Amino acid sequence: MMFTLNLRPECGVPVLLAILVCGLLSAQTIPFAFAETKEQTTITSQRMTVEGKSRRTIFEGMVVLKKKDFVMRSDQMVVTFKKGAQAGSPDTEEGTTSQVDRIEAGGNVVIEKSDGKATCGRALYDKDEETLVLTESPVAWQGGTKVEGSQMTMFLKEERSIVEGGSRVVILEE
Q: Is the pLDDT of residue 155 over 50?
A: yes
Determine contact, residues 61/75, Cβ cutoff 8 Å. Answer: yes
Determine contact, residues 32/22, Cβ cutoff 8 Å. Answer: no
Which conformational region is residue 20 in: left (phi greater than 0), alpha (psi within -120 to 50 degrees), or beta? Answer: alpha
pTM over 0.75: no
Q: Which of 127, 130, 96, 101 is nearest to 19 (CA)?
A: 96
- Per-residue burial over 113-150, b if 16 or more Cβ lie within 10 Å, else e, is eeeeebbbbbbbbebeeebbbbbeebebeeeeeebbbe
What are the tens digits of pLDDT across the range 51-101?
988 899 999 999 999 988 899 999 999 999 988 644 333 444 455 567 889
Which are the contacts of 49, defined by CB distance < 8 A and separation ≥ 6? 4, 5, 6, 57, 58, 60
- Dist CA 134 CA 138 (whole Å): 6
- DSSP assignment of 3-25 equals ------GGG---HHHHHHHHHHH
What are the tens digits of pLDDT across the range 138-150?
999 998 899 999 9
